[in-house]
Structure 1
Amino acid sequence: DAFGEAQRVLPNGLEVYTSRDADTSNVTVQVWYKVGSKDDPAGRSGFAHLFEHLMFKSTRNLPPETFDRLTEDVGGSNNAFTADDTTAYFETVPANHLERMLFAEADRMGSLVVDEPTFVAERDVVKEEYRQRILANPYGRLFGLFVPETIYQDSPYRRPGIGSIEELEASSLDDVRRFHATYYRPDNAYLIVAGNFDQAQLDRWIDQYFTPLKNPTTPIPANNVVEPEPTASRAVTYYAPNVPLPAAVVAWPTVKYADADRAALTVLDGILSTGESSRLYRSLVYDKQIAAQIGSTPDFSQQAGNLSALAIMAQGHTAEEGVAALNEEIAKLRDAPVTAEELSEAKNELVADALRSRETVDDRATALGFALINTGSAAAADDEVAQIQAVTVADVQRVARKYLTPQRQSTITFLAADDANPASVQKMNVGAPVTVADLAPAGPPAVLLPEAERTPLPQPGAEVAPVTPAVADFRLDNGLRVLVAPTDGVPLVSARLSFDAGSSDDPSGKAGIAAMTAALLTQGTKTKTAPEIATQIEQLGASIGAGAGVDFSNVYANAPSNAFPATVALMADLVKNPTFAAEELERQQAQTLDGLRVALSQPAAIAGMTVGRVIYGDAPYGATITQQTVPTITPA
């Protein structure tokens, strides 16, 4: 049991998982409710996400914004997210504040206060989030609305988690209170606590604050839609304003998270699109140079899943070219086995990523939460690496032939709207397995008590001294200062090489040199080509790259400890022997210009690019990389 969690179930049905780690001075508290956007009632899409916002307001004993004060004011953090199948809330605080967080989480589970002004204000916040994420983002409609509604036929996953302006406006305060009464209950949640605590004391606090919470007498509405097998392929073109570059997507329904084929599909996805040695990057971005960006997403949820592959086209290339190139690469996966080297690369990357996602107590608790939501079993989190390692070449070809077939495929092209092709609209009035009538009665509304009547927050306990590594600090003969901080935990090693030069050192009129120099470090040395470098990085399961800040530039590396000697040797080669080849510079310039075309179509990106100029004027800190400065950069 890699997570080392203890499990128990309270009399009210709340499932509790605790994992002690005495090597940290922090603790994380997470509550995962078994309700997500798939449970949004018909005509109320976006409801679970709206409710996530409301959960940060007041309770019977806690005034609004208390969670921020309990976490941020002591150096901690708090947040939440809504997914298809869950809404999760999590806090990380110094360990001596654990009891206060348990009190607060129990109070909002049992006595959330939602009044009309709060409801209207948060609904407006979510509507603005919709405008920013879906409408202002040039590809927001594609990924947030059109892809899921095209892939799925009957599944509630076909509705967007953020909902729609119209259905958000249709909701009422009574709807919200009934939603809370229906789903925010002890027998519909997991409580996860990880970090530095005394187990016996933690158990007493959980019993004290959570055991008194009651469940409503009404059952949780049934929601278990079986997505039907596609009967034919689909091809759809969507249009939207503000699409700077055309996009192509090919997608297939696949399997739910708990399915045995998930591991093979995950490895297939790694071979397809992870890293610069992946098939899609090498073909569409590097060799053919027809795409500015590629990607694929294996999306596995509780009831169903899908895999989609995408290409945002380079300037001057069409979505039809993208579809043809994507189909060509998918056909290769069906028609011939992947190589043993590709399989090994993908596995190494996935295992290393699994380690990276378990570095902190927060990470490990989150991995456990996802496993519980999607499978109901804590063991699924422990089994993930072994399942990836067990995938064979034959498995990859088998799942490609089984799921990624032309007959099951949805093909989506996404283009700029014009007079002849007006913007496509979001599909409305989509059916759902849950209706507002299925929700539990709201019951008497909770109200914030007068201060004198509130149950006071527990006081913090004795501070737990943070454990910091002993740092070795020395210089090499060439003057390079080296700092080494050994840590226990997952077998990963990170390195960062920093240089006292950044974008503020770019020559006048040539903004972008520092950033372009950093980008080119991984694109060729005296003995290795860019594809060879990418292949070696991925064989090692490493992450190696470079970037430029305003005052400094960094080269970074992260790898499993057994691969770190070879990783740092490669890192040194990149720094000491770059070639800055003209053809690689041209590729990077083209990609940068395409990236600017996308950025300049987004209000937030434009504001971010101009704020430096507004504040600093013509001083070096005010320089901004533009479509005019990029072409002026030369290999010299």
Structure 2
Amino acid sequence: MSKHVLTFCAVSTAATFALPSVAAAQGAPQAASATPPALAAPKALALPAMVERTLPNGLRLVIVEQHELPVVDAQLVIRTGSEADPAGKAGLATLTANLLDEGTGTRDALALAEEVGFLAIRLGTFAGLEQSTVSLHTTRATLDSAMALMADVVLRPSFPEKEFTRLKNERLTGLLQEQDRGPAMADRAYAALVYGEDHPYGRSTSGVKESVESLSLDDTRQFWSTWYRPNNATLVLVGDLSLAEAEALAARAFGGWARATLPPAPAYASNRAAARPTAIHIVDKPKAAQSSFRIGGIGVSRSTADYYPLMVMNTALGGSFTSRLNNTLREVKGYTYGAGSSFSMRRERGPFTARAEVVSAKTDSALIEFMKELRNIRQPLPAAELAKVKRYLRLGYADGFESTGDIAAQLAGLVPYGLPLSTLGAFVAGIDKVTAADVQRVATQYLDPARLTIVIAGDRASIEPALKATRIAPVDVRDARGRPVIVP
């Protein structure tokens, strides 16, 4: 670090002393042009070769050779997450993942942390709705030792009771803290109102107080032994190693992992809020200085044939800094530091959500602007805006492949949805084919202002009268789990 700083300073100093003579040689400074330079056509994105293999135990391998730097990134993706939490045990998948690196058969938590530091690697564990992941970043020089450590975490976690108790108490403390955070309150209520608490998408991956309190150490062991199996996993390896080296490395580390018969995939409950008329639900946070908006409903699955038109449409609406929502609510009106929207595409139909944190006094005004933009996006997209959005998506896509870690993350992102590796290379062409008619069609099909769930977490006493006065939709009060609250 210090060497880089010193080098930078030396270059900067030399450049500073050279400036006067350069300026003198060139004469008076020229006025800047008022015309921005024309952008060149974007270069074609050349993706690295991606190879698939399968070990005898069923572990799928995805291997990418990248030899620019002597580093390797690995991601082991288990195709099960909190969707498989048993009834009344919400939060189990995430707590299980958190425990993996808290001790193994040969190392306690401290010894494990010391070895990670000694090897100078990054080792992480995570669980989401539909996957659990163990990630590794290491240099080529420490690859064998790092991969052995990663395998130890996956195959031989010790589930120490002391660490389980600590993590469980930390989770309960975090859940308590969420009760004073408007954005977290809005997120929880919104998910529950759109899907219902009986649906995996209607619950937080962290669980709730009652479900976390019910979790036992045996629950985490059972979740791990059931779902952490090679025939339910994909190992992504990206970096400075050959195909043969990658296969041999994976076989040494994970070849002895025993496969098992997996339970049936969790059955999802029906989408409860699929066709309800628009309603406004206030989650009361007394004296809140801002209101947290969550507006939308059930969207699409990742396998939708409308993926590319939806990407273009949402980018225009709220998926970029220059999008309509952010421009209107931040730049023009000054109600918020940022507003946006997204389709969370999952195995089943995930939610569409428009969101912002808005100064409390402008809650009603902000809602009016949200509704305007949600109606306007259903009109034909101007040619110039369509071209700008498509160019933004094409140029920005390359950012996801800059490093070995980026490439590994892109590949790991395909695993929960069973998407082929060719999906990554098809993105630019898919975006290029989108027409204005496509955008209008999907906006009309998936965004209906008459069928929206609107959740606003804020100071009910100050925002409720103004929201009712907008006459946009009926207004009621809910708690942070989306349940009705009886008010005087």
Counterpart residue number, 2:252: 208
**Aligned-partner Cα distance in 2 for 1:179–1:273:** 38
8 A Cα contact 2:91 2:212, kept in partner: yes
- Quick one: structure 1 residues 307 and 262, their matched pair in 2 at CA, closer, same or farther if it must change by over 3 Å? same
Counterpart residue number, 1:389: 432
Counterpart residue number, 1:44: 89
Counterpart residue number, 2:395: 352
- Quick one: structure 1 residues 373 and 276, their matched pair in 2 at CA, closer, same or farther if it must change by over 3 Å? closer
Counterpart residue number, 1:8: 53
Residues 353-382 of structure 1, C-alpha deviation per residue, up to 9 Å, x if partnerless?
Answer: 321121100100100000122234222223
Offset at 1:165?
A: 1.9
Which segments of 5 or more consecutive residues in structure 2 lack a partner in the other structure? 1-45, 465-475, 484-488
- Asked if residue 194 in structure 1 is aligned to residue 249 in structure 2, the reply is no
Aligned pairs for 1:67-466 within 5 A: 68-132=113-177, 134-143=178-187, 145-153=188-196, 155-217=199-261, 219-225=262-268, 227-228=270-271, 230-235=274-279, 236-241=281-286, 243-314=288-359, 316-318=361-363, 320-334=364-378, 336-416=379-459, 424-426=479-481
**Aligned-partner Cα distance in 2 for 1:109–1:291:** 43
- Quick one: structure 1 residues 348 and 313, their matched pair in 2 at CA, closer, same or farther if it must change by over 3 Å? same
- TM norm structure 1: 0.62
SS in 1 for 2:210: helix
Residues 275-317 of structure 1, C-alpha deviation per residue, up to 9 Å, x if partnerless?
Answer: 4432112322222334443121221112222211123323521
Offset at 1:422?
A: 8.8
SS in 2 for 1:406: coil
Q: CA RMSD in A?
A: 2.5
Residues 240-279 of structure 1, C-alpha deviation per residue, up to 9 Å, x if partnerless?
Answer: 3563212333202111112121222121111112444321
**Aligned-partner Cα distance in 1 for 2:190–2:432:** 31
Residues 587-621 of structure 1, C-alpha deviation per residue, up to 9 Å, x if partnerless?
Answer: xxxxxxxxxxxxxxxxxxxxxxxxxxxxxxxxxxx
8 A Cα contact 2:52 2:60, kept in partner: yes
Residues 99-154 of structure 1, C-alpha deviation per residue, up to 9 Å, x if partnerless?
Answer: 1222223223322111322211121122233344x2343322112x1121122246
Offset at 1:389?
A: 2.4
Offset at 1:225?
A: 2.5
SS in 2 for 1:127: helix
8 A Cα contact 1:3 1:382, kept in partner: no
Offset at 1:32?
A: 0.8
- Quick one: structure 1 residues 278 and 39, their matched pair in 2 at CA, closer, same or farther if it must change by over 3 Å? same
AA matched with 2:289: P
* Percent identity over paired residues: 24
SS in 1 for 2:377: helix
Residues 150-173 of structure 1, C-alpha deviation per residue, up to 9 Å, x if partnerless?
Answer: 222464111111111221111111
Which segments of 5 or more consecutive residues in structure 1 lack a partner in the other structure? 429-636
Q: 2:73 aligns with which of 10, 28, 34?
A: 28
Counterpart residue number, 2:7: none
**Aligned-partner Cα distance in 1 for 2:257–2:451:** 47
8 A Cα contact 1:40 1:48, kept in partner: yes
AA matched with 1:316: A
Offset at 1:98?
A: 1.5
Offset at 1:202?
A: 2.8
8 A Cα contact 2:199 2:270, kept in partner: yes
Residues 529-570 of structure 1, C-alpha deviation per residue, up to 9 Å, x if partnerless?
Answer: xxxxxxxxxxxxxxxxxxxxxxxxxxxxxxxxxxxxxxxxxx
- TM norm structure 2: 0.80
8 A Cα contact 1:68 1:77, kept in partner: no
- Quick one: structure 1 residues 198 and 341, their matched pair in 2 at CA, closer, same or farther if it must change by over 3 Å? same
8 A Cα contact 1:251 1:309, kept in partner: yes
- Quick one: structure 1 residues 299 and 195, their matched pair in 2 at CA, closer, same or farther if it must change by over 3 Å? same
- Quick one: structure 1 residues 404 and 427, their matched pair in 2 at CA, closer, same or farther if it must change by over 3 Å? closer
**Aligned-partner Cα distance in 1 for 2:229–2:452:** 40
SS in 2 for 1:309: strand
8 A Cα contact 1:248 1:322, kept in partner: no
Q: 1:58 aligns with which of 89, 103, 112?
A: 103
8 A Cα contact 1:247 1:322, kept in partner: no
AA matched with 1:388: I
- Quick one: structure 1 residues 368 and 389, their matched pair in 2 at CA, closer, same or farther if it must change by over 3 Å? same
8 A Cα contact 1:290 1:314, kept in partner: yes
8 A Cα contact 2:302 2:417, kept in partner: yes
SS in 2 for 1:163: coil
SS in 2 for 1:377: coil
- Quick one: structure 1 residues 67 and 193, their matched pair in 2 at CA, closer, same or farther if it must change by over 3 Å? farther
AA matched with 1:172: S
**Aligned-partner Cα distance in 2 for 1:199–1:142:** 47
Offset at 1:234?
A: 4.2
AA matched with 2:108: P
Offset at 1:189?
A: 1.0
